[in-house]
Structure 1
Amino acid sequence: MSRHIVLTGGGTAGHIEPMLATATALQLREPGIEITCIGAIGGLETTLVPARGFKLEVVPAVPFPRKPSLDLAKLPPRLVTATMAARKILTKVDAAAVVGFGGYAALPAYLAARTRGVPVVVHEANSTAGMANKVGARWAKVVATAMPIPGLRGAQVIGMPIRDTISKIDRQALRAEALTHFGLRPDFTTLLVYGGSQGARTLNTAIVGAAQVLHDAGIQVLHSYGKKNDVSAPVYADGPAYTAVPYIDRMDLAYAAADFVLCRCGMGTVAEVSAVGLPACYVPLPHGNGEQRKNAAPVVAAGGGLLVEDDRLTADYLAAQLLSILRDPAKIAAMSANATGAGHGEAADRLAEMVLEVARP
């Protein structure tokens, strides 16, 4: 009889993508294993999880108010209702383990698992653990993290689980197909500019402003500018191409086409870019708690990338600083090797192995 593993995570792609990567790794490691994901009603996971072929059950969302408010008073009954719903799911599938990645459905799943004696595994992708994972980690059999996190005792740093289509990519074998797919031309160094699924205005402005200088220097650009943005991208009839698209749904081909990346530094982006061995210029968000800067720090320290503050990333910076690297194949190769060494392409496999070790027979 096959085991049934329940995974929970949602709200953002930073919770959902490692969950789905781990689900795939579990299937590969134990053929016949059954997978159910628990998400929150109305969350992003209600779209992404079924689209990747996994079964999804939902429970009421349980957000944690950060300030005293009416929502704080509603937290206990909401949590009880969601935990009871999660417990029914665990009972129905006879869960062998619960694996959580954070999000509004995670704490109810952790509490339900505890009341049923189901082993819990927690993975934290951010530099600071979220409330749900802090609570779940107290009784989890395994706590894994993408990077060292103060305050999570016994946590094992394994990196960020990423899709096997990315972690196992052969960039050279896919390069010709990738260039054709994006309308890029062979024999030119390719810069991939990627501001996440929503795009990034700072990156968009800088790269369009530097386009002509890069083109004259023999650098072509694959630019994902975001569905909600609009850019006046140049068109070149010959020489290095400039391909601008609102969204890239084949990131494996984008990475195969690229020689260097200009990007934000969300943990998922840093994990993927370093795992495939691409050097990058990382540009952290200018607001927040500095988390994005911390995400890129290990790769930058290893020599696999640069870190540029948002207000310093301009067309002039790209022309004066980044261009010298893009025109130096030996420098790109050295940074690529350093990025590969700093990456964690095996994180999904390692987490799957940990889950199966503690899961009930």
Structure 2
Amino acid sequence: MKKIIIAGGGTGGHIFPAIAIANALKKIDSSIEILFVGAKGKMEMEKVPEAGYKIEGLDIAGFNRSSLIKNIGLPIKLIKSFFQVRKIVNSFQPAAVIGVGGYSSFPVLKYAQQKNIPTFIHESNSFAGRANIMLGKNATKVFVASDGMEKFFPAAKIMITGNPVRATIANSTVTREEGIQFFGLDPAKTTVLSIGGSLGAQSINTAIDNGIAAFAKNGLQLIWQTGKPYAARGAEVAVDNKNVWSNTFINKMEYAFAAADVVISRAGAMAIAELCVVKKPVVFVPYPFAAEDHQTVNAQNLVAKHAGIMIKDSEAKDKLVEAIVNLAKDAQLQNELKTNIGNLGVKNADEVIAKAILENMERR
């Protein structure tokens, strides 16, 4: 029996493509046994079991850029995680290990490489993370979303695959009418979808909250994924505004994308991959504190291709609502953005990655 570990997580941008790869592997060979490894207390500990897979949690945390004092215990946690990884890997005996990003992936892949176990990396962003750059030198294969990644990884190991998109989104047949009905909204009104990432986005939420009157004034309705920190306030706003649907998290994103006419989004690689597949006109607000500011790089790549609009995080409070209202009123611009972002969509990245992993495993 083939055994594979998939390591990483922290956000939906790492977890959902990891699950997509796991599903593609199982579709090719149902006898494969897959074990996920993530960080205790993070959303993968909930989302992975929901998808039907086992997961082991590590006592590990990432570097806190906003508060240096919170990093005091980081070396101890890292050392502890390596002992946990050794126990997990030696017990499970994987034939391969796949890293999808997030700080929990580093100790797992590092130990696997020391044990001469084939390792595969999926780098979703156009600016590679430091951990992946270090691991890439000894990886069997590095799967990337776009060209120009030779500055981060050995050229011979790179394979351009695009980013895996959840099957529920890639293969969705949900109509706009069904999407609107799902959220209890009005099919006659232009619908704005705001998705600040799986953990929410303070700047986007604040901008929407401050400008909420502009939505009704301009005949717009809003599907608002707030994330947990802004959930109570979002629910309050939705009670007072019948054109607003608000919740912490959207579990049925295929309905949200179907309902949306225009979208507000962070610029994480996986959010972009999904928006390319569903072909939606988007105003991006990149998270400025992402590692190496990669979200801004991601968004700028799309703006250069006239496939999206970008508002800086620091300017969201003053400019975001106005930008989304203007886009909602401009049908020609919407169509141009739809066409250009749609040209970048890849629906089968999960299958391509799964096949490449199995082919490389068979060669050993």
Q: Tell me, yes or no, whether TM beats 0.5.
A: yes
The one of 262, 265, 278 equivalent to 1:263 is 265
Specify whether residues 132 and 75 from structure 1 end up closer, same or farther in structure 2 by C-alpha distance, changes over 3 A only: farther
User: Contact between 1:124 and 1:146, CA under 8 Å: does it hold in 2?
Assistant: yes
Task: Please name the residue that 2:16 is paired with.
Answer: 17
Please state whether the residue corresponding to 2:48 is helix, strand or coil. Answer: helix
User: Contact between 1:207 and 1:315, CA under 8 Å: does it hold in 2?
Assistant: no
Between 221-230 and 34-43, report the one with greater CA deviation: 34-43
Q: What's the CA shift for 1:297?
A: 2.2
Return the alpha-carbon distance in structure 1 between the equivalents of residues 193 and 78 of structure 2: 46
Task: Please name the residue that 2:166 is paired with.
Answer: 163
The size of the alignment, in residue pairs, is 351
In the TM superposition, what whole-angstrom CA distance separates every residue of 1:309-351 from its partner, at most 9, and x where no partner exists? 12322466533x4333212333322211211112333322221
1:183-222 equivalences in 2 (<5 Å):
183-222=184-223
The one of 290, 296, 300 equivalent to 1:297 is 300
Q: What's the CA shift for 1:115?
A: 4.7
User: Contact between 1:265 and 1:292, CA under 8 Å: does it hold in 2?
Assistant: yes
Please state whether the residue corresponding to 1:228 is helix, strand or coil. Answer: helix
Return the alpha-carbon distance in structure 2 between the equivalents of residues 126 and 252 of structure 1: 23
Specify every segment of 5 or more residues in structure 2 that has no aligned partner in the other structure, as ranges.
none
In the TM superposition, what whole-angstrom CA distance separates every residue of 1:141-198 from its partner, at most 9, and x where no partner exists? 111123444221222332322211112223xx43222111111111222111122233
1:80-91 equivalences in 2 (<5 Å):
81-91=83-93
Specify whether residues 303 and 130 from structure 1 end up closer, same or farther in structure 2 by C-alpha distance, changes over 3 A only: closer
Q: What's the CA shift for 1:18?
A: 2.0
Return the alpha-carbon distance in structure 2 between the equivalents of residues 77 and 264 of structure 1: 33
Please state whether the residue corresponding to 2:153 is helix, strand or coil. Answer: coil
In the TM superposition, what whole-angstrom CA distance separates every residue of 1:270-327 from its partner, at most 9, and x where no partner exists? 22222211110001224454221112222222222101112322466533x4333212
User: Contact between 2:266 and 2:287, CA under 8 Å: does it hold in 1?
Assistant: yes
In the TM superposition, what whole-angstrom CA distance separates every residue of 1:238-267 from its partner, at most 9, and x where no partner exists? xxx322333322111111100110122122
TM-score between both structures, scaled by the size of structure 1 = 0.84
User: Contact between 2:12 and 2:198, CA under 8 Å: does it hold in 1?
Assistant: no
1:145-184 equivalences in 2 (<5 Å):
145-147=144-146, 148-149=148-149, 150-154=151-155, 155-170=158-173, 173-184=174-185
User: Contact between 1:96 and 1:360, CA under 8 Å: does it hold in 2?
Assistant: no
Specify whether residues 360 and 98 from structure 1 end up closer, same or farther in structure 2 by C-alpha distance, changes over 3 A only: farther
Q: What's the CA shift for 1:120?
A: 1.4
Task: Please name the residue that 1:4 is paired with.
Answer: 3
Specify whether residues 19 and 276 from structure 1 end up closer, same or farther in structure 2 by C-alpha distance, changes over 3 A only: same
Between 157-166 and 302-311, report the one with greater CA deviation: 157-166
Larger radius of gyration: 1
Return the alpha-carbon distance in structure 2 between the equivalents of residues 9 and 287 of structure 1: 20
Specify whether residues 245 and 81 from structure 1 end up closer, same or farther in structure 2 by C-alpha distance, changes over 3 A only: closer
1:107-118 equivalences in 2 (<5 Å):
107-118=106-117
Task: Please name the residue that 1:357 is paired with.
Answer: 359
Please state whether the residue corresponding to 2:56 is helix, strand or coil. Answer: strand
Please state whether the residue corresponding to 1:26 is helix, strand or coil. Answer: helix
Task: Please name the residue that 2:348 is paired with.
Answer: 346
TM-score between both structures, scaled by the size of structure 2 = 0.84
Task: Please name the residue that 2:237 is paired with.
Answer: 233
Please state whether the residue corresponding to 1:290 is helix, strand or coil. Answer: helix
Please state whether the residue corresponding to 1:281 is helix, strand or coil. Answer: strand
Task: Please name the residue that 2:105 is paired with.
Answer: 106
User: Contact between 1:59 and 1:85, CA under 8 Å: does it hold in 2?
Assistant: no
Return the alpha-carbon distance in structure 2 between the equivalents of residues 199 and 64 of structure 1: 20
Specify whether residues 121 and 242 from structure 1 end up closer, same or farther in structure 2 by C-alpha distance, changes over 3 A only: same
Specify whether residues 210 and 158 from structure 1 end up closer, same or farther in structure 2 by C-alpha distance, changes over 3 A only: same
Return the alpha-carbon distance in structure 2 between the equivalents of residues 210 and 23 of structure 1: 41
Please state whether the residue corresponding to 1:139 is helix, strand or coil. Answer: coil
Task: Please name the residue that 2:143 is paired with.
Answer: 144
Specify every segment of 5 or more residues in structure 1 that has no aligned partner in the other structure, as ranges.
none
Q: What's the CA shift for 1:359?
A: 1.7
User: Contact between 1:205 and 1:315, CA under 8 Å: does it hold in 2?
Assistant: no
Task: Please name the residue that 1:243 is paired with.
Answer: 245
**Amino acid across the alignment from 2:252:** R
Task: Please name the residue that 1:326 is paired with.
Answer: 328
Between 350-359 and 212-221, report the one with greater CA deviation: 212-221
- Which has the larger helix fraction? 2
**Amino acid across the alignment from 1:50:** P
Identity %: 31
Between 194-203 and 107-116, report the one with greater CA deviation: 107-116
**Amino acid across the alignment from 1:161:** P
Please state whether the residue corresponding to 2:237 is helix, strand or coil. Answer: coil
Please state whether the residue corresponding to 1:342 is helix, strand or coil. Answer: coil
Specify whether residues 40 and 263 from structure 1 end up closer, same or farther in structure 2 by C-alpha distance, changes over 3 A only: closer
Q: What's the CA shift for 1:358?
A: 0.8
Specify whether residues 202 and 87 from structure 1 end up closer, same or farther in structure 2 by C-alpha distance, changes over 3 A only: closer
